[in-house]
Structure 1
Amino acid sequence: MKKAVLLDVSAIMYRAFYGNLNFKTKNEPTGAVYGFVNTLLSIINQFEPDYIGAAFDVKRSTLRRSEVYKEYKAKRDAAPEDLVVQIPRIEELLDCFGIERFKIDGYEADDVLGSLAEGLSAKGIETYVITGDKDLSQILDKNINIALLGKGDGGGLKVLRTEEDVVEQLGVKPNMIPDLFGLIGDTSDGIPGVRKIGTKKAVPMLEKYGNLEGIYENIDSLTELPGIGKSLVTNLIEDKELAFMSRDLATIEIVPLNITEEQLKYKEDDKKLLELFKKLEFKSLIKKMGLENGAEAPVINNTSKMSEGMQLGLFSFQAPVEIEEEKAFEVLVGTEIEKKLLKKIDEKAFLYLGEKGLAVSIKNKDYYLPLEDELSKESLKKVLASDIKFISYGFKNILRKGYDIKNMDLDTMLAYHLLTSQTREEIEVMLKNVIEEDIEKYSEVFAKTKVSELSNEDYGKFLVKRTRGMLVAYPELLKELENNNLLEVLQEIEMPLIKVLASMENEGIKISPEYFSNYSEELELRLNQLTEKIYEIAGGEFNINSPKQLGEVLFLNLNIPPVKKTKTGFSTDSEVLEKLREQGHEIAESILEYRRLSKLKSTYVDPLPKMVDENNRLHTTFNQTGTATGRLSSSDPNLQNIPVRTEEGM
């Protein structure tokens, strides 16, 4: 059976844009384009389609749905300027791949995708619609599959192939989806639905009566269903017109397109792709696709594969260093560590600390040091005090264990952060992006097996994949640091800071448990007083921490006009409460103060004393790569989020 793939361009490019925010050349942002091409390659690799089409959205003001309901998508934020300027590049990219682009005035990309899919399905072509919109599942049939972006394992595609898949995802069968949104509405699209009806109440009604018509024909029997009270029936009656209009808004419109399969055949133009990738400085993609001199991209091992939007255009791929297989790996303990490492290592060694030991890689050898006894630890200390230059991913983790390192040459975690501003700290991500090496995480290899249950050989071989990857990535990172004038920043600022922060973390911050205990009691007293005051204004007791109950008290019992509504009911977030306070509602002021003091007590005042050591010192972790801007962040516990702008926080 022939296969087709249909692309929801907006959904793919938005995900690509936010996944690669810091990508740019000197002249233009490139992250959305880079992520888009990686996603496209991944899709082609996964589905191996015979045909591809791409659907674009049109301006909201031109939509037929906007004529029906003026609020339709009216509250959506405008696309970020850095994304808007990349759309012509994405169009150019699709042209380079020979992929037909579709944009029809008055209709959304969803309508175009549905129309294309229906036409292909009628010709017996297996079709995969790549989208981020679950609503599109309404078009599913025996030949049409819905592939949801970011919903699958590891953030990949989740493919819905059957009615059961759709029910698991949305709660109803495909043909009921428009009716579902007729009832619950859709805040993101500005579809109103019926007041106070969410998925939990809508699904049983649709299961019993099939559609809106069935529900309204049996309106007098609805209270027999669990959770359906008279007030909801009243809402259904009063909002009947809105319900049917909402269903219409949520229904995919089939447009006659008269598209032939021939128009959907695609074939990339390597010459045009090479020109485009050179303009956008996508060096790794040029190599991966073998666009220069017809050369094939090198790989480290057979596990390397494309994945959605992960590789960085900043890096060009490096060939692996050959390892002599018969002596590639060895476990060292005791004085063997000192004797063998000092003898073997000429200049550089790559280190990575695991849960119960240290991996070490040199030019033609990998080692694992279990570090389970004092003799092994002392032997390692002598190696770290030598003139060897060490490269690691997170030196501070090693320093925190009580080791000192004489020559910390380069921390690859910090180097990668300086080059990309990325704040994810997994070494697997860094290696994937720098050298396109797929390294499986612990859970993928050992499932739920505890580290303590593994042999030193099994755990060591798992760990040295990271040091071997660092060895390959090191020259590439060094080159890019120099090219971007960041080597001095790393050497003069970030690297010296490692030992300072490790020392601060080990020393800890002394607190007074007695002060915290007294302050906790003081806050408890004030919270009790606020609770009584809130109950008095509300006219009775309720769960102040329940948004649902609070919404009912404010907007039903006290008849305060609602500020904002969500899918699940009335919004009672801080923005809403602050508006109510400005309007002079005393209960809003009390609830805001209650929330502020409650969070201070539960997040800081009560937990922090339980986290001190025997000397009443807190040992936080200061993260050099925790923010895109480069400032430090703090974790376990986070001591930088205490609200010091308030009197209580101070």
Structure 2
Amino acid sequence: MKRAVLLDVSAIMYRAFYGNMNFRTKSEPTGAVYGFANTLLSIINEFKPDYIGAAFDVSRSTLKRSEIYKEYKAQRDAAPEDLIKQIPRIEELLDNFGIKRFKIDGLEADDVLGSLGDTLSKESIETFVVTGDKDLAQILDENINIALLGKGDGGGFKILSTPEDVKEQLGVTPKMIPDLFGLIGDSSDGIPGVRKIGVKKAVPMLDKYGNLEGVYENIDKLTELPGIGKSLVRNMMEDKELAFLSRKLATIEVVDLGIKGEELTYSLNEEKLYEMFKKLEFRSLIKKMNLKEKVVEASVTPNVSVNNQNSQMGLFDMLGNSEPVEVNMGNSDSLEELGENIFLYYGEIGVALVDSKKNIYYSLKDEKRREKFKEFLNSSRKFISYGFKPMLNDGYKVKNMEFDSLIAYHLLTSQTREDVENMIYHVNGDELEKYSEVFGKKTLNEIDENIYGEFLIKRALGIKESYEELSSKIKDENLEEVFRIIEMPLIKVLSSMEVAGIKIDPEYFYKFSEELEEKLNGLTKKIYEIAGEEFNINSPKQLSEILFLKLNLDPIKKTKTGFSTGVEVLEELGNRGAEIAQYILEYRKLSKLKSTYVDPLPKMTDTNNRLHTTFNQTGTATGRLSSSNPNLQNIPVRTDEGIRIRQGFVADKGNVLLGIDYSQIELRVLGEISEDASLIDAYNRGEDLHSLTARKIFDLGENDEVGRDQRAAAKIVNFSIIYGKTAFGLSQELKITPSEATDYIERYFNQYPKVKELENSIIEFAKENGYVETYFKRKRIIDGINSKNMNIRKQGERMAVNTVIQGTAAEVIKKVMITLYDYLIGKNDIKMLLQVHDELIFEVAKDKVQEYKDEIVNIMENTVKFKHVKLEVNSAIGENWAETK
């Protein structure tokens, strides 16, 4: 039986675009094309089709459905500009694969796919429609299958082949899908449906009465169904016309396109494909498809046609990492037999090791094997992995950490997802099953080590396959220095800090918890007294009913589900004199403090009461470090609550904590890269920048004293410029009018004119190039910087400015941490424990603290030397973390 694949181009290219947003050459974005090519190869390998067709969407204005209903898809955002730029390349890619493209005015891609599917089915051709849209399942029949992108058990394709498969996915059979959407609508497409009818209410109606006609013929009986009340029936009566209109909008239109299955044969033009991939710098795809060799062979063998009708057959034999791999159980001898470049993937009970010729799984279950592995890691070999830090944390030292693909992929894409499967899919196109999908909830002692070895080897092979692409792009994108000088050395630094941990006083937290519980009980009592009844304070719905129905307070903001009870609303109610709102805000604050920090922290310590946070090197797009388990970055700095939490972090006996943080580092970075004379002079003279700004925006004379509130407001203005806050946002924070906020910002830029010039130059660079660079050349793609949507564009502009300044400050601290790590190696009386934004915390022997403090201050102030502005730090010593600030 012949087999066909039909491609929903929009679904594939959107998924590819968002997975590879930051892939580009010097002249054009390439991520969507790269991801599309990888997905196309996966599709061909998975289904081995004889025929392929590709359906494109057309302009909304040409759609027949838009003539029927003007709101149809009217609310959809325009496609991102960087994606639009890549559509001609995707068309070129399909042409080079010899795949016929369909783009028909008036018809959506779904209609085209349905029409082609109908033709193929009538010819008894087994057809797979590759899409992300479950709605397309309405065209399913005995020959048509739906392959849902990324929904399979291993992240591949979930195949819907029977009405039962569809019912499991959507709750109804294929033929009922238009009726379902007639009732529930589809907000993404602007299909209205019936008000307040969702899947849970619609499915029982269709199960019982078959279709919309049946439902409306029996409308008087609907209240007999669970959850259907009179108000919903009334909605259905009032929206009857909309229901039938919605069904029509959701129904795929099948038309005769005059196409036969045999017209969908495809053939690779390998020469053109090679030239295209070469221009777009898709080295891994050239290698994966052996294109260079094939093109060379064709050029020296005149009788061999590159554009061969059967050339796609070679693709069917391509090995994807999702296929079973041979598991060689390694021993000491096999370690020695491995070559010079080792691709490894580390697991808790073993490690996969792959070189140019072989792959082995080496168990780490006994001490002798672990010791042998340590010797192996200390050899002259070069190691390439995805995330070295877990291995370092377990006590393994790697002499030559050549390349960490986790870091490289993050630098190239700003991706913050850390699962290796995500990287392998987007770089190689290979979809691997997740750990939970292979092993479920089995413990490491319960799993089959052969299966575990295969699982790790697949990932090591994926790392190997992605290495050339990633390493080449790091060089091409001029990221080699950031990668080699900052990020790779930082891995060891962060590992040492995670292993050291910081001590907490559990007894302190237990008592603090009891104190908070008492306060919360008191607040609860007061809230219940005002409300006149007990209710769930944490339930927005119940709280809304108390505030706006029972107490009859004026609502401030409405959401889709009712009246808002968010922080802004409660603050406004409090300002209006509603005492209950103030109590609820205090209750929320203390409750969050207790549940987020005070109660969990003592449960997360080791036997020595030390807490080991995880520092996430790839956790933010700007380059700043984040931390998790627990997140120590989010502990408030200046608030009473934050201080109370920090008091529970203590030094070990005989030691003290030393805290050193940069003084206004982001503003100093701003002064350096803007070269603004007023900023530079202020820092060189040792002036307080916040007071200086206050004088300007509040029009104070030289002899006028700057008030505390004025300085605080000026501080907010200073940092608002860095974070790109709008006049409206500033007005909200300072509780002033937008016009006053606008005046503050204008006065700020009058005081520091070069800052405005810098902002404009960063934004113009981003618009021209699609990305920005920090002082140390880290890049970040700024999606939406050229958007026609003003809100998206403004967000991109803020992101651009913020990345340059905040990213540069983050890299200063990273460079300093590396220098400090090298200085502290071998010293037993001091440890670097924490990095929280601009602050570093050390644990030091009491009798050495002054000596170390002076040296560390010197390193922090002089490791990075700017041309115009000197970096300065503040330091403090204490028995606990609160005393070091």
Distance 1:385 1:140, change over 3 A: closer
How many Å apart are 1:74 and its aligned residue? 2.1
- 1:74 aligns with 74
- 1:319 aligns with none
Contact 1:419–1:481 (Cα < 8 Å) also in 2: yes
TM-score normalised over the length of structure 2: 0.60
User: Which of residues 320, 326, 334 in structure 2 aligns to 1:305?
Assistant: 320
Contact 1:564–1:576 (Cα < 8 Å) also in 2: no
Tell me the number of residue pairs that the alignment of Structure 1 and Structure 2 aligns: 619
Amino acid at match of 2:348: E
Contact 2:407–2:483 (Cα < 8 Å) also in 1: yes
RMSD over aligned Cα atoms = 4.5
Distance 1:643 1:154, change over 3 A: farther
Distance 1:152 1:106, change over 3 A: same
Distance 1:379 1:649, change over 3 A: same
Amino acid at match of 1:372: D
Runs of at least 5 residues in structure 2 that lack an aligned partner in the other structure: 298-310, 644-885
**Any idea what the Cα deviations from partners look like across 1:204-256, whole Å, max 9, x if unmatched?**
11111112222222222111112212222222222222222222221222334
**Any idea what the Cα deviations from partners look like across 1:77-124, whole Å, max 9, x if unmatched?**
221111011111111222222222222223321122222222332333
Contact 1:304–1:437 (Cα < 8 Å) also in 2: no
Give 3-state SS (helix, strand or coil) of 1:510's partner. Answer: strand
- 1:398 aligns with 391
1:612 matches 2:605: yes
- Match runs of 1:52-91 below 5 Å: 52-91=52-91
- 2:490 aligns with 497
**CA distance in structure 1 between the partners assigned to 2:505 and 2:484 by the alignment:** 38
Amino acid at match of 1:605: V
- Match runs of 1:303-342 below 5 Å: 304-305=319-320, 330-332=330-332
Distance 1:536 1:187, change over 3 A: farther
How many Å apart are 1:288 and its aligned residue? 2.6
**CA distance in structure 1 between the partners assigned to 2:120 and 2:564 by the alignment:** 47
How many Å apart are 1:397 and its aligned residue? 2.4
How many Å apart are 1:203 and its aligned residue? 0.8
Contact 2:155–2:433 (Cα < 8 Å) also in 1: no
Contact 1:304–1:438 (Cα < 8 Å) also in 2: no
Amino acid at match of 1:180: L
Contact 2:8–2:131 (Cα < 8 Å) also in 1: yes
- Match runs of 1:252-331 below 5 Å: 252-294=252-294, 304-305=319-320, 330-331=330-331
How many Å apart are 1:33 and its aligned residue? 0.9
Contact 2:502–2:612 (Cα < 8 Å) also in 1: yes
How many Å apart are 1:51 and its aligned residue? 2.7
Distance 1:170 1:555, change over 3 A: farther
How many Å apart are 1:592 and its aligned residue? 7.1
- Match runs of 1:549-560 below 5 Å: none
**CA distance in structure 2 between the partners assigned to 1:126 and 1:379 by the alignment:** 54
Distance 1:611 1:72, change over 3 A: same
| Structure possessing the higher radius of gyration over alpha carbons | 2
Moved more, 196-205 or 265-274: 265-274
Moved more, 15-24 or 472-481: 472-481
Amino acid at match of 2:56: F
Contact 2:321–2:461 (Cα < 8 Å) also in 1: no
Distance 1:151 1:544, change over 3 A: farther
Amino acid at match of 2:65: R
Contact 1:39–1:307 (Cα < 8 Å) also in 2: no
Amino acid at match of 2:600: P
Contact 1:138–1:175 (Cα < 8 Å) also in 2: yes
1:636 matches 2:651: no
Give 3-state SS (helix, strand or coil) of 2:445's partner. Answer: helix
Give 3-state SS (helix, strand or coil) of 2:88's partner. Answer: helix
How many Å apart are 1:61 and its aligned residue? 3.0
How many Å apart are 1:347 and its aligned residue? 7.4
Distance 1:466 1:59, change over 3 A: closer
Distance 1:79 1:221, change over 3 A: same
How many Å apart are 1:392 and its aligned residue? 5.2
- 1:509 aligns with 502
Amino acid at match of 1:510: K
**CA distance in structure 2 between the partners assigned to 1:272 and 1:380 by the alignment:** 47
Moved more, 350-359 or 589-598: 589-598
Give 3-state SS (helix, strand or coil) of 1:14's partner. Answer: helix
- 1:240 aligns with 240
- Match runs of 1:528-547 below 5 Å: 543=536, 545-546=538-539
Amino acid at match of 1:150: G
How many Å apart are 1:349 and its aligned residue? 6.8
How many Å apart are 1:619 and its aligned residue? 0.7
Moved more, 190-199 or 424-433: 424-433
Amino acid at match of 1:157: F
TM-score normalised over the length of structure 1: 0.79
**CA distance in structure 1 between the partners assigned to 2:352 and 2:44 by the alignment:** 37
Distance 1:600 1:278, change over 3 A: same
Contact 1:550–1:572 (Cα < 8 Å) also in 2: no
1:370 matches 2:364: yes
How many Å apart are 1:26 and its aligned residue? 0.8
Amino acid at match of 1:201: K
Contact 1:38–1:307 (Cα < 8 Å) also in 2: no
Distance 1:347 1:69, change over 3 A: closer
Distance 1:425 1:515, change over 3 A: same
**CA distance in structure 1 between the partners assigned to 2:539 and 2:37 by the alignment:** 44
- 1:315 aligns with none
**CA distance in structure 2 between the partners assigned to 1:414 and 1:44 by the alignment:** 31
How many Å apart are 1:173 and its aligned residue? 1.2
1:215 matches 2:178: no
- Match runs of 1:582-593 below 5 Å: none
Amino acid at match of 2:494: L
How many Å apart are 1:304 and its aligned residue? 2.9
Amino acid at match of 1:630: G
How many Å apart are 1:133 and its aligned residue? 1.2
- 2:28 aligns with 28
Contact 1:368–1:464 (Cα < 8 Å) also in 2: no
Amino acid at match of 2:216: Y
- Match runs of 1:109-124 below 5 Å: 109-124=109-124
